[in-house]
Amino acid sequence: MNGRQEYTPHPYPGAVADVGEFGLIDRITRTLGPQPALVLLGPGDDAAVVAAPGGSVVASTDLLVEGRHFRFDWSSPYEVGRKAAAQNLADIAAMGAVGTALLVGLAARPALPLTVADGLVTGLRDEAASVGAAVVGGDVVAADSVVLAVTALGDLQGRPPVTRAGARPGDRVVVAGRLGCSAAGMRLIESGDRDSPLAALHRCPDPPYAMGPELARAGATAMIDVSDGVVADLGHVAQASGARIVLDVGAFAAAYAVDPVTLADVLGGGEDHALAATVPPGSPLPAGCVEVGEVQALGEGQQARVVDRHTGDVLEVAGFDHFGGDLA
């Protein structure tokens, strides 16, 4: 699966209710295993202690709700765990930081099979380990459906954070990572093709974590995790920076729209967790970045929007909105 290690479920029968709250916590702690050096105190106390060598901590949190953000008939518990970790660790990378730790809240039905809980925890553990981070604590509670609340922590390694608000006129707009794969993969799953590489990327994204710090070292002035669609997310950068972002739609088509990934998938699809950044014109770009546009100053009467370089039209590509439609 995307070149990552495979997961074999633990051969233990039973449900969460069979072991109870503290039995489940003990089981999770044993599944997580040894902690990396940055974790000074891991699971088992009232709180964890994680070193912050850079002197400050980056923090981000996300919720995943069964039936809204994932379905167990589409994704294995292991894939759900990896995806939950990935979307949080991508936010850390988008600040130019390196992920160090995850805190996880798990709500579960009492009848939830223990093998499902094991898969979720192992997926979270393995995705965290891919960036040198660890699951250091959390909480469990009974609920009618499975909910994962994940908080990620990161270290800036002494650098200032790269926010959404720093884009400057003349900066180049670049993208690192995949675009459109998750949207195309979801469409394939809906059509019954669950075995394609794109379907696997929808279930378990592959963010370019290392590119966050690399772009920060290259002088990135603004950066964002592409979780809701690249046009929508760059719109956040434009608004926060008080600038216009001018995109070359043809560059997106040439770099990313390869059948069955459509241009609409590329511009509006979310959950690939690529990184979009603005970089000064004289800065060398890290290998793997695709230049897709530029930042312009606002003219008289202009709004901070994302526009098409060739037509001048505002790009009205709707990204994902948690409150914009019916629940799954």
Predicted pLDDT at 306: 94
114 and 77 share a domain?
yes
36 within 8 A of 99, measured Cβ to Cβ: no
Does residue 163 fall inside a structural domain? no
pTM of the model: 0.87
Q: What three-state secondary structure class fits 45?
A: strand
Does residue 72 fall inside a structural domain? yes
184 and 142 share a domain?
no
Predicted pLDDT at 208: 98
61 and 125 share a domain?
yes
**What would the mean pLDDT of 91-118 be, rounded to a whole number?**
95
Range of the domain at 50: 16-155
253 and 296 share a domain?
yes
In CATH, what number is assigned to the domain containing residue 134?
3.30.1330.10
152 within 8 A of 88, measured Cβ to Cβ: yes
80 and 118 share a domain?
yes
User: How many separate domains does the chain show?
Assistant: 2
127 and 182 share a domain?
no
Instruction: Verify cis geometry, omega within 30 degrees of 0, for the bond prior to 260.
Output: yes
Best CA proximity match to 153, nearest among 25, 29, 51: 51
- Res. 39 pLDDT band, cuts 50 70 90: confident
254 and 283 share a domain?
yes
Predicted pLDDT at 21: 64
61 and 138 share a domain?
yes
Does residue 3 fall inside a structural domain? no
Mean pLDDT of the chain: 89
Does residue 64 fall inside a structural domain? yes
Last-in-domain residue among 101, 124, 155: 155
**What would the mean pLDDT of 56-61 be, rounded to a whole number?**
93
